[in-house]
């Protein structure tokens, strides 16, 4: 994933968070592997030193949609499918929500969830990277 940038100052709807990442010269956050997830979780754990509670959630920039009886999802920036995911139990639940957040449910562990794209939450960006290089690395 490279270096993660957690945007704490403001809350935005999904599309505005996505655009802000690009305006800041960053890529929208995408988790392509377990090592990316570990890096992201470590960055979010560091928020204990701030007043921001990960229970409120952060945008990660994937789209979730129903295609017939099957749920499909892909990362918005790279257009790659979600090869790796860490959805909370029962998620995505097919309730018509198409956007992805990472949050801390009551279990205390970080997990992914589908939520309405018009919800206003904080967001996560990452330093620009080559997706081809990431997919071919020996991590």
Task: Kindly report the CATH number assigned to the domain that includes residue 26.
Answer: 3.10.100.10
Dig out the tokens for 44 from the structure: 């979010």
Enumerate residues 6+ apart whose C-beta is below 8 A from 62. Answer: 30, 73, 74, 75, 76, 82, 99, 100
| Per-residue confidence band for 139, with pLDDT thresholds at 50, 70 and 90 | very low
Name which of 88, 89, 116 is nearest 103 in CA terms. Answer: 88
| The total number of structural domains that make up the chain | 1
Dig out the tokens for 10 from the structure: 């403001």
| Per-residue confidence band for 105, with pLDDT thresholds at 50, 70 and 90 | confident
CA angle 101/88/15 to nearest 5° reads 15
The mean pLDDT of the chain is: 85
Q: Which SS3 state, helix, strand or coil, does residue 105 take?
A: coil
- Whether the pLDDT of residue 135 is over 60: the answer is no
pTM value is 0.83
The boundaries of the domain holding residue 15 are 4-136
Name which of 56, 68, 67, 38 is nearest 113 in CA terms. Answer: 56
Contact at 8 Å (CB) between 74 and 62?
yes
Taking each continuous run of H as one helix and of E as one strand, the counts in the chain are: 3, 7
Distance CA 94, CA 63 (A): 13
Quick: pLDDT tens for 49-83.
555 665 689 999 999 988 888 888 999 999 999 99
């Amino acid at each position: 994933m490279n270096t993660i940038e957690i945007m704490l100052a403001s809350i935005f709807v999904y599309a505005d968070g996505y655009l802000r990442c690009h305006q800041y010269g960053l890529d929208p956050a995408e988790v392509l592997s377990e090592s990316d997830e570990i890096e992201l979780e470590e960055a979010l754990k560091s928020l204990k030193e701030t007043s921001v509670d990960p229970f409120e959630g952060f945008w990660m920039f994937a789209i979730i949609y129903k295609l017939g009886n099957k749920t499909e999802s892909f990362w918005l920036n790279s257009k790659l499918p979600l090869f790796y995911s860490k959805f909370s139990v029962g998620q995505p639940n097919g309730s018509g929500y198409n956007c992805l957040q990472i949050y801390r449910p009551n279990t205390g562990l970080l997990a992914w969830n589908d939520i309405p794209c018009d919800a206003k939450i904080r967001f996560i960006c990452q330093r620009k990277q080559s997706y081809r290089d990431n997919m071919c690395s020996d991590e």
